[in-house]
Amino acid sequence: DAKTTQPNSMESNEEEPVHLPCNHSTISGTDYIHWYRQLPSQGPEYVIHGLTSNVNNRMASLAIAEDRKSSTLILHRATLRDAAVYYCILRPYYNQGGKLIFGQGTELSVKP
């Protein structure tokens, strides 16, 4: 399975944008890029996913590099509730069951 590399931790100020990077240099042409986050004492929750084009939803935006070897999760205005561990995960397209392999993720702290 292709692996991802994320910084262990990042800090942000409330109401400022946050850019969470993810490197996946061994990504294959048909791997989807998924992001999940885990708030303290909760189960992980889905944030966003994409294949090649940039994606937006109500929670965040996903910017994917042209060569797909890296991606960035963008939180447009961080709130205290966004403090969580963010996981970047690759899922092969043929994996219709949706099996996900979680790494260590990036722990995001948000300062008021």
Q: Residue 27 is which amino acid?
A: I
Nearer to other proteins, 74 or 102 (CB): 102
Nearer to other proteins, 16 or 101 (CB): 101
| Interaction of residue 51 with other proteins, rule CB under 8 A | no
Using CB under 8 A, pick the residue from 3, 69, 77, 99 that binds other proteins: 99
| Interaction of residue 44 with other proteins, rule CB under 8 A | yes
Nearer to other proteins, 21 or 32 (CB): 32
- Kindly indicate which of the ranges 13-21, 43-51, 60-68, 76-84 contains the residues binding other proteins, using the contact rule CB under 8 A: 43-51
